[in-house]
Amino acid sequence: YTQWTALKATLAREYTLPADKRRSDLTLLEASISDYENALTSLSAVLKESVSIGKIKWDSIRQKLKEREVAIEFASFRYRAKGGWTDSTLYVALVFRKRDKHPTLVPLCEATQLDSLVNNPQHTNESFITALYRGLEINNKQALSQSKQLFELIWKPLDHLLAAHDVVYFAPSGILNQLAFAAIPWD
């Protein structure tokens, strides 16, 4: 298990590097991880269950949703253009609704846009955090603007797919794990 987690951490680090700076044996590393995972899976029912979670098909999610329920899976990935890998990381949302034949892919923003709002040292002050919470009086126009920008990046692109009384289940990714989604102002 220790070897498996160490190899997975190594692989994750490699994928954060530009393609030309990565190890040349990534395929072997992935194969080793798979071998360890197979061995561990056969030994552990708990691990077997957690690995199988990643193999759930979208249609099984759709079938479990009720009429006014929406599941949103946020994802982030490095963008690959025709010329090769870029240094851009993009955020998207996969929206699952019972009535849809297929999930809807909604492009959201680049990681740098979110990072400039969430991880900016100037934004950790009380006024920025206060601006995120509805029902509080906001006197700081800059903080209000920043929280509105979060809405524009994350919820506005999804707005047309959501109704006023929908129950929304979501799985964040990357920097989105640092946000309190219910606190993002939404008209």
CA distances from 40 to 7, 73, 155, 169, 175 (A): 14, 27, 39, 31, 30
Range in 27-41, 69-83, 104-118, 136-150 the model is least confident about: 136-150
Does the reported pTM lie above 0.85? Answer: no
Mean pLDDT of 67-90: 84
How far is Cα 78 from Cα 88, in angstroms, rounded to an integer? Answer: 6
Distance, in Å, from the CA atom of 129 to the CA atom of 143, rounded to the nearest integer, reads 8
Residue 47: its H or E element: helix 45-53
pLDDT grade, residue 88 (50/70/90)? confident
49 vs 76, higher pLDDT: 76
Q: How far apart are CA 95 and CA 10, in angstroms?
A: 31
**pLDDT given at position 38:** 81
CA torsion sign, 120 to 75 to 68 to 167? negative
pLDDT of residue 135: 47
Under the banding of pLDDT at 50, 70 and 90, the label for residue 149 is confident
Contact 146, 131 (CB under 8 A): yes
pLDDT 10s digits, 18-45: 878 888 888 898 889 888 888 877 777 6
User: Which range has the worst mean pLDDT, 54-68, 75-89, 115-129, 153-167?
Assistant: 115-129
